[in-house]
Amino acid sequence: MPYQTVMFRGGLRGAVPLALVLGLPQDFEHRVLLLDLTMGVVLLSLLIQGTTINRLLSVYNLGKGS
């Protein structure tokens, strides 16, 4: 279970939403707003998840030497 938690936490969640937003037609009414919001959420999740993954590894004792 600890390995599953770490894999879930470190997953790539930004690829699918970005691909969906970039796939919208150019003349879509709020395309730029959706693109900005999606990029913000992806960046925020990368920063939060990326900076806390070491702490999660130490909680489950899955770091180096395990």
> Residue 19: is its pLDDT beyond 60?
yes
Average pLDDT for residues 34-56, to the nearest whole number?
90
CA pair distance 64, 49, nearest whole angstrom: 19
Q: Could you please report the per-residue DSSP string of 24-36?
A: S-TT-TTHHHHHH
Local confidence band at 12 (pLDDT 50, 70, 90 cut-offs): low
Residue 62 pLDDT = 85
Average pLDDT for residues 36-54, to the nearest whole number?
89
**2-9 vs 31-59: helix axis angle to the nearest 10?**
150
Q: Report CA-CA distances (Å) from 66 to 43, 58, 61, 62.
A: 31, 11, 7, 6
